[in-house]
Amino acid sequence: MLYQRDADILFPSRVTPLLRDLRGRTWQNLIDEVARQSDVSPARLAFGLMMIRLNGCLTCDADSYRAMQGCTFCSQQAVMRYKGADAELVKAFEQAHLDIRRWQESGQLPSREQPQPGVK
């Protein structure tokens, strides 16, 4: 059981719109596009995967500081602290989208790794 009402196991889709105004126009456009999608669309799943990678959700547990702060706070902090440009976040989203499509088509599991800013 998680102690915080805002703590989920993985990045919750409900947090997506709350991230919109944390970065520039490129990021805002991405959020607007993703928020228009259904919860099970490949784009929404890809955004979730990108945020899981960015937030480090796979290493979070109920007793961690991140979980105690909640998913909304954790996600906002991760987006605001990201050192790369908005375009790099869009590239990370595009990679996650490719990973989701590959998984849907072939069953190949996506990598846990998030591309690092400035690393090609």
Return averaged pLDDT per consecutive 10 residues of the chain, 120 residues in all. Answer: 67 95 98 95 96 90 81 94 96 95 88 55
Token pair of 51 as six digits: 């945020």
The number of residues making up the chain comes to: 120
C-alpha 46/C-alpha 40 separation (Å) is 10
First to last CA, the chain: 39
pLDDT of residue 119: 40
Residue indicated by tokens 């099970």: 40
Residue indicated by tokens 């960015």: 54
Token pair of 27 as six digits: 């990021």
Domain coordinates in residue numbering, the chain: 13-106
C-alpha 90/C-alpha 47 separation (Å) is 10
